[in-house]
Structure 1
Amino acid sequence: MVTVVFALASCLAPAEDHRQDLNFLIDSWRDYGAYVRDDGIDVEALRKAYAPKFASVSGRPALLRALEQVVAELHDFHASLGTNDDASPRLVPSGTDVVGHWEGDKAIVDQVKTESLAARAGVKAGEEITSINRNSVREECRKWLGIRRPDRRAWDWALNSALAGRWNANRILGLRCRGQSRTLTLPTAAKDETMPVLTVEHREGGILYIRIENSLGNDDLIRAFDATTPQMRAAKRIVLDLRNTPSGGNSDVARGIMGLYISHRMPFQRHRVEERSTGTVRDWVEYATPRLKTPVTAKMVVLVGRWTSSMGEGIAIGFDAMHRATVVGTQMAGLRGAVDRFILPQSGIPVAFPTEQVFHINGLPRHEWIPPVRVIPRGNDDVWWFEAKRLLTKNRRGLSPE
């Protein structure tokens, strides 16, 4: 009954003109969007195309759908609303358990999140995705694309949007592997269970294994690392696993972690902002500084994958730039830049999108950076760990000396 009453209330909600929110959002992209110009986005065409929809919006659910459609025009998983409802898209990578890409006309599974619904159902890296929700993959992807002409990056964005799905809908995936086809019905990806901010294990080969549990925005993580310092000092080999950092975090926590492993101030990433009101560019280098009088000196490998996101990606390029660890893995989440949050003036809904471009110290955009030691996921094997152990134990003198 509550659901019916809510639905009727939504249908009967008086139409409101929300073009003030639309114009504020479009103006913000024009003035502050870090990749709007690089992507060739015609913001005025978007304003014109969506103005009729925003001129008459009946109820908050309709407003959310309209805003989600506009934000989707960026084809950028680092752009999102700060609120949602049951019909909203799941965020990528934090809300998904399957990541794929296009190879020509075929959609291929890149990675499957460990212990996820998709993993338990048997979805494996390397499989071809033949259908989504009983539609061809291209057809399902087109539902996520708006008025902008899609390029290769947009098609990958649409594919991963479709694989993530919406909060209130099951996903029906058609898969093919070695000539065998099957169809799986998956619930919407489950929310992560409550976990400690940090997992620490002593593993074979005298390796101290440290895994960050999606907590890079939590100051408690720094305290957890500090509490682990005696174990790190005693260890000769450390594996730092960043594969479960899909929600990103902040630079304060990242610098707090990296500062344990260096003896002097070191650059770890670059930022660039176009100051469009003056036609100038602000470009600066971000540094990590030592936090211990005597740093942790163990030889290190850092693990990354498709759920290494945003600040997790920043830590990975930081360790690489500082020559303090060897980074092992695959392409990361590829979230572009650093975001700022804007509040829409009429509805009060927060919207976040990239306003700064972020680079490796060597000048390569962070979202394009690939780890120097690549692995190819296969089945349920943890090829990351096998490669890390091989690297750390094959050479007793270690890797990447500081």
Structure 2
Amino acid sequence: MRISMLLLMIALLYFTSHAQQWTKEQYTKDFDYFLNTIKEDYCYWDKKQTDWEKVKAIYIPALDTITAKGGFVLLMEKLFYELYDHHASLNTNTAASQRLVPSGTDLWAEYINGKPVITEVRRDFGAYKAGLKAGMELHAFNDVPIEQAIQPFLGKSLKTVTPEAKSYALRVLLAGTHLGNRKVSVKDKGMLYDFYPDQPVNLLEEHRYEGNLAVRSYGDIGYLKINNSLGDNNVIVSFDSALNSLMHTRALIVDLRETPSGGNTTVARAILGRFITKEMFYQKHELTAEQRQYGVKRSWVEIVSPRAALYSKPLIVLVDHWTGSVGEGIAIGFDALQRATVMGTKMAGLNGANYSYTMPNTGIGFSFPVEKIFHVNGRPREDFLPKVLVKLSDNHATNDVILEMALQQLKKP
């Protein structure tokens, strides 16, 4: 703990001496702009315990201590903790910032019956390689008991501290900072164990994909995995080429389990369009700010159109907690189109569609959900569950049980 505090002090000193500086008045104006923008446009107030009116009073005294951009960034990150929303974040960070969830973490955890439990481990990243498993109960993080360690990430304005808010804080904690390595202590079958997921290499900082897609075959079953590239329109050409090479297969698996950073709907519609024969609705949007301001509800349903050569054979779409945002939109789209069986764990559950804003003085960008997104059946996207829901346990530590289940299902006559 002392080492972590020392590293944080070093980082703050660095930003104090090297970063561009603004006046207190400029920081205050950006602070107010941030608060007002979220108050007016954030679309999930109806399910939050946040008292946004108290946030300013809680944090404005800290503005007196800000002397450089790095310190201001760390302060604004604390304001986002009040929303306990993994889809809301700054578009910049410092070395002392927590990594983003889900893109910057390899552990998914929740409070279950009051206990902090690992529910999924990201395959091929540090936590997985270190031996952490679903089902383990978290005991401490960097030698600090979990209940104490999550406190900095729990909102201070909450009317009630819900299990959702605590689970959010737990996941932010487990992601760690860009600056330091993690020690994760767990209870498993009555014993305490320590794990070091960032040794010998911090894969959350150093991981590189071999390409934007992975393509292979399992006999006559095709497999196409998207490697966190749903925001790159160039992946459309890559996807078409890969799918064209698999047209001869008798069934296909599309793997969305490594799409935590989201993307854009151009790529989403391009992918969905290869599997349908006519225009269809694939997701519903709702803009709540207009209703709050004028009392008039605004909502619409988005259409996907067929394109290029049709792949008409059986299809399974794989998802897990690292299927985020647009990846989640593709999954609910396939389900709405009744074109694929969605299989896996619950997804990241990221709220809605983000809009981006820029603070007028410091130029710091930030994003948060402004549109609610729904399945065409009216169910919120963040609540969607796969048709084949897979429950993971420590028995699945090395096997890719989700992929194995998909292959078994497709191999049936």
TM-score interval (norm. to shorter): over 0.9
- Which residue in 2 is equivalent to 1:283? 299
- Which residue in 2 is equivalent to 1:30? 39
Q: Greater helix share, 1 or 2? A: 2
- Which residue in 2 is equivalent to 1:400? none
Preserved contact between residue 84 and residue 155 of structure 2 (Cα < 8 Å): no
Q: For 1:222 and 1:11, how far apart are their aligned partners in 2? A: 39
- Which residue in 2 is equivalent to 1:172? 183
C-alpha change, 1:3 and 1:36, in structure 2 (3 Å) is: closer
Q: For 1:29 and 1:167, how far apart are their aligned partners in 2? A: 26
- Which residue in 2 is equivalent to 1:157? 168
- Give TM-score scaled by structure 1 length: 0.93
SS at structure 2 position matched to 1:277: helix
Partner of residue 225 from structure 2, selected from 211, 235, 238: 211
- Which residue in 2 is equivalent to 1:9? 17
Measured after TM superposition, the shift of residue 366 of structure 1 is 0.4
Preserved contact between residue 223 and residue 254 of structure 2 (Cα < 8 Å): yes
Measured after TM superposition, the shift of residue 328 of structure 1 is 0.5
Measured after TM superposition, the shift of residue 4 of structure 1 is 11
- Give TM-score scaled by structure 2 length: 0.90
Aligned-pair identity (%)? 34
| Structure 2 residue 85 is matched with structure 1 residue 70 | no
- Which residue in 1 is equivalent to 2:241? 227
C-alpha change, 1:235 and 1:78, in structure 2 (3 Å) is: same
Q: For 2:277 and 2:60, how far apart are their aligned partners in 1? A: 55
- Which residue in 1 is equivalent to 2:268? 254
Measured after TM superposition, the shift of residue 75 of structure 1 is 0.3
Equivalent residue runs for 1:2-401 within 5 Å: 6=14, 9=17, 16-17=24-25, 18-149=27-158, 150-187=161-198, 189-204=204-219, 206-274=220-288, 275=290, 276-292=292-308, 294-377=309-392, 378-394=396-412, 396=413
Preserved contact between residue 97 and residue 113 of structure 1 (Cα < 8 Å): yes
Equivalent residues, number: 392
Measured after TM superposition, the shift of residue 266 of structure 1 is 1.1
Measured after TM superposition, the shift of residue 56 of structure 1 is 4.8
SS at structure 1 position matched to 2:183: strand
**Cα offsets for 1:311-355 (capped at 9, x unmatched):** 000000000111000000001011000000010112110010000
Preserved contact between residue 12 and residue 70 of structure 2 (Cα < 8 Å): no
Preserved contact between residue 272 and residue 356 of structure 1 (Cα < 8 Å): yes
C-alpha change, 1:260 and 1:133, in structure 2 (3 Å) is: same
SS at structure 1 position matched to 2:366: strand
Preserved contact between residue 108 and residue 120 of structure 2 (Cα < 8 Å): yes
Q: For 1:385 and 1:60, how far apart are their aligned partners in 2? A: 45
- Which residue in 1 is equivalent to 2:4? none
Preserved contact between residue 237 and residue 298 of structure 1 (Cα < 8 Å): yes
Preserved contact between residue 11 and residue 96 of structure 2 (Cα < 8 Å): no
SS at structure 2 position matched to 1:356: strand
Measured after TM superposition, the shift of residue 281 of structure 1 is 1.7
Preserved contact between residue 20 and residue 69 of structure 2 (Cα < 8 Å): no
Preserved contact between residue 129 and residue 176 of structure 1 (Cα < 8 Å): yes
Preserved contact between residue 232 and residue 296 of structure 1 (Cα < 8 Å): no
Q: For 2:13 and 2:262, how far apart are their aligned partners in 1? A: 38
Preserved contact between residue 19 and residue 55 of structure 1 (Cα < 8 Å): no
SS at structure 2 position matched to 1:384: helix
Structure 1 unaligned blocks of 5 or more: 397-402
Q: For 2:134 and 2:157, how far apart are their aligned partners in 1? A: 30
SS at structure 1 position matched to 2:207: coil
Q: For 1:168 and 1:281, how far apart are their aligned partners in 2? A: 45
SS at structure 2 position matched to 1:376: coil
Runs of at least 4 residues off by over 4 Å: 2-5, 10-15
Query: What one-letter code is carried by the residue in structure 1 that aligns with 2:56?
Result: R
Preserved contact between residue 287 and residue 370 of structure 2 (Cα < 8 Å): yes
Query: What one-letter code is carried by the residue in structure 2 that aligns with 1:184?
Result: F
